[in-house]
Amino acid sequence: MDKSQYMVSNYKIIGDKFKDEKKLEQAIEFYSKAYNYRDGSHDFELLLNMGLVYEELEEYKLAEEKYLEALDINQEDPSIYYCLGVLYDVQEDYEKAIEYYKKCIELEPDYDRAYFYIANAYDELGDLHKAIDYYKKTVALAPDDKVAYVNMGAIYEELDENALSIEMLRKSLELDPEYYRALFNMGVVHYKLGKSAEAIDYYNASIQSNPNSSDSFLNLSAVYIDTRELEKAIELLNRAIDYNYDIADLYYNRGCSYSLLGIFDRAMDDIIHSVELDPDLVDYMKTDHEIDGLKQQRSFIEVFGEI
């Protein structure tokens, strides 16, 4: 090993250490030192790691540059196509992401993560049947993938194929009985089917499993608001906000509950705070009849006008 190779190897080792420690700026500093040595710019592994770190730093153009340099060196390694797919995926360029994931699969037909993310990309593009096809291929290769089953369950629910949705969600729960997303989606499907008691049980189980996810709190509070169990809704939303203080919809739902109870000062505080967190809620308020009482209050009109 000559001096140049030695220095490249040394800088890579230091860069890898910083990468593992999530000290990304320092990792790039040492990877760049390796890159600038003779032969460093032709080191496939180095270029791949530089791309990964730049991507994590959200320096997407630099990440793409390094990945494409790596691709110029080796067109037969499926990992580089997968990395490019992920890079375009996080930038929501789903068509391009799919193109690279498929190239990865051409080289390695058992690359299950590529199938998974193709499915997710098709879901994002609204091609739900193709998404399901690729999730099926995912679980054929990775039968313990609880997330793939949940995602299929959510798509089947969207397609109104509720029996299939429940079947997929049960498979996810067989793998992990406390998986909060599966429990949440079970709540969604059961409430849709008019099985309110079962839905409430699933939402509560999801909350117990992961109180830092706001979705089950929101849906369960909506159930209580619909049934006018408003004190229950407020108590639930108080808990939810303790765990998720920056979620606008939690404050909005609590404001709706207070409005329906005629407690307009508290309703106003929550509605204002929800709009501060998410200004788009102003448009939603225009057609929301659950705050009609609040809309007639002077304090509301002074802030939002007559809507």
Domain coordinates in residue numbering, the chain: 144-210, 211-307
- Burial call 261-296: b when 16+ CB within 10 Å, e when fewer: beebeebbebbebbbeeeeebeeebeebebbebbbe
Contact 34, 46 (CB under 8 A): yes
Other CB atoms within 10 Å distance of the CB of residue 53: 24
Can you tell me the mean pLDDT for 252-275? 98
Going by pLDDT thresholds of 50, 70 and 90, the confidence category of residue 6 is confident
Other CB atoms within 10 Å distance of the CB of residue 18: 18
Residue partners of 4: CB distance under 8 A and separation at least 6: 37, 38, 39
Phi/psi region, residue 263 (left: phi>0; alpha: psi -120 to 50; beta: rest), is: beta
Can you tell me the mean pLDDT for 240-249? 97
Can you tell me the mean pLDDT for 216-228? 97
The mean pLDDT of the chain is 96
Range in 34-38, 199-203, 226-230 the model is least confident about: 34-38
Residue whose entry in the numeric block shows the structure tokens 């108590």: 235
pTM value surpassing 0.85: yes
Which CATH number does the domain 211-307 belong to among 3.40.228.10, 3.30.420.270, 3.40.350.10, 1.25.40.10?
A: 1.25.40.10
| Residue 8, CA atoms < 13 Å, CB-side half-sphere | 18
Q: Is 70 exceeded by the pLDDT of residue 141?
A: yes
Instruction: Look at residue 225 in the predicted model and tell me its pLDDT.
Output: 97
Q: Is 80 exceeded by the pLDDT of residue 4?
A: no
| Residue 138, CA atoms < 13 Å, CB-side half-sphere | 24
Question: Which of 26, 34, 32 has its CA nearest to residue 10?
Answer: 34
Instruction: Look at residue 39 in the predicted model and tell me its pLDDT.
Output: 81
Range in 24-38, 92-106, 197-211 the model is least confident about: 24-38
Other CB atoms within 10 Å distance of the CB of residue 133: 15
The answer to whether 144-210 and 211-307 have equal CATH topology is: yes
Q: Is 60 exceeded by the pLDDT of residue 1?
A: no
Instruction: Look at residue 307 in the predicted model and tell me its pLDDT.
Output: 85
Instruction: Look at residue 5 in the predicted model and tell me its pLDDT.
Output: 79
- 144-210 is classed CATH 1.25.40.10: yes
